[in-house]
Amino acid sequence: MTIKLKIPKRKRRGKGGKGTVSRDPVIRVALSAFIVLSVMLCGWFSYYYIKYGRIIDQRFKGPVFSSSATIYAIPRAVKVGEKVDLHEIEAQLRRAGYAENDGRSPMGSYSALKNRIEIRPGPQSYHSPEPATIRVEDGYVSSIAGKSGELEAYELEPRMITALFDAEQRSKRRLVKYDDIPKVLVEAVLAI
């Protein structure tokens, strides 16, 4: 028994015929180049998208703000011959985070004696770790001694005004009552 298969012949279209892909070689080359460039561009974009996506994911796994921006007040310089009060220097060092008498403070420590104050900056000090001794006689600075010898001036630790994005040093908000507001301020606001 014989089987006869009939395969239909493709119809030839005329010159104005519409096919899925044009028979013109220039259009085929341009289309091929467009597809190759599109695939390359998509591959390049995908590579860098995945690469930087992994970097961002890795950074977000840890603390987002690992370091903080700190803003300090202007440091006060104590000069030889300047009129100064030792209690004022002590208060400024305490506000800057120094501990008294070798206390355990990362900012540093100080020791106040009768007519002198010894300052020892700590590892988190704004200034260099050079300690200094400021001697006061009759209310005036008579000498400033450092590790390297006699100094003409010594900058005290500046007070930190704020630490942005640092949860350890961020202070909590506190409620202010009407009675806590100075009367002058209340009157000034009401006068407006």
Each residue's pLDDT tens digit, 124-169: 887 767 889 999 998 899 999 988 888 898 888 887 777 665 555 4
HSE of 47 in the Cβ direction (CA atoms, 13 Å)? 6
The confidence score (pLDDT) of residue 81 equals: 92
User: Whole-model pTM?
Assistant: 0.50
CB burial readout 59-89, b (16+ within 10 A) else e: eeeeeeeeeeeeeeeeebebebeeebebeeb
Q: What is the mean pLDDT of residues 20-45?
A: 90
Distance between CA 136 and CA 133 in Å, rounded?
Answer: 10
The confidence score (pLDDT) of residue 163 equals: 62
* Confidence tier at 15 by pLDDT (50, 70, 90): low
* Confidence tier at 66 by pLDDT (50, 70, 90): low
Distance between CA 102 and CA 80 in Å, rounded?
Answer: 25
Each residue's pLDDT tens digit, 178-192: 888 888 888 988 898
The confidence score (pLDDT) of residue 47 equals: 97
Tokens 């089987």, located at residue: 3
Smallest CA-to-CA distance from 88 within 110, 73, 104 is with 110
Tokens 């892909």, located at residue: 21
First to last CA, the chain: 113
Q: How far is CA 94 from CA 57, 69, 98, 175, 189, in A?
A: 41, 22, 5, 25, 34
Tokens representing 58? Answer: 């890795």
Each residue's pLDDT tens digit, 48-64: 999 999 998 888 887 66
